Amino acid sequence: MDTPETPPDELTEALVEVGAIVPAPDRAQRFYDRIRASIARYVEKKGAAVEKTAEYVLLVPDVFMLLWRLVTDARVSGKNKVLLGSAVAYYFFPLDFVPDIIPGLGFLDDLVFAVYVLNRILLDTDPALLRHHWSGDEDVLSVIRRVLGAADTLVSKDFLGYVKKFVKRE
């Protein structure tokens, strides 16, 4: 039996209202500000010791905001909102593969998971929509390719295998 689908914008509003998948706008902004400050302090404190991963860790807050903006955009399909919402939720989930208590480095698994989700939604989402919501300096598609290319050096093979299986599900 077919059931009527809830329009994506109404679905998003309902999910935001109950806090099921995406945080409220003020919570998303506070989270962005908090992780941006934490990462900046970490990179400044560690300097050359984190030189190889700093460029990726610094992408974490911008990728988070991109996910959040996309999941709240009515032009994104409901199926993709579920994927995006899972990536947003993973940022908040306290039991990551790499705990977020390790400032900076603890967010690498969040970044890799998010970028795989973004790459997956590009199969049926106009790249212009990602560019519209992106606040980073570099082109978002270049960022996605660069993180995908470095993923196996940023996270464990076990985690990478899990992410690849997760985003292939439909």
- pLDDT for the residue numbered 32: 74
pLDDT score of 15: 46
Q: Give the rounded percent of residues in the chain with a pLDDT score beyond 90.
A: 34
pLDDT at residue 95 in the model:
56
pLDDT(19) > 80: no
pLDDT band at 4 (very low <50, low <70, confident <90, very high): very low
Q: Where is average pLDDT lowest: 18-27, 64-73, 124-133, 142-151? A: 18-27
How far is residue 157 from each of residues 61, 65, 164, measured CA to CA in Å? 24, 26, 10
Three-class secondary structure of residue 72 per DSSP? coil
Is residue 105 very low, low, confident or very high in pLDDT (cuts 50, 70, 90)? low
Q: Write down the pLDDT at residue 24.
A: 67
Q: How far apart are the C-alpha atoms of 146 and 161, rounded to whole Å?
A: 18
The predicted-structure confidence for 79-99, as pLDDT tens digits, reads as follows 999 999 989 888 777 555 554
Q: What is the mean pLDDT of residues 100-123?
A: 82
* pTM given for the model: 0.74
Quote the pLDDT of residue 150. 93
Q: Hey, CA dihedral for 64, 68, 69, 75, is it positive or negative? A: positive
Residue with tokens 């500000």: 33
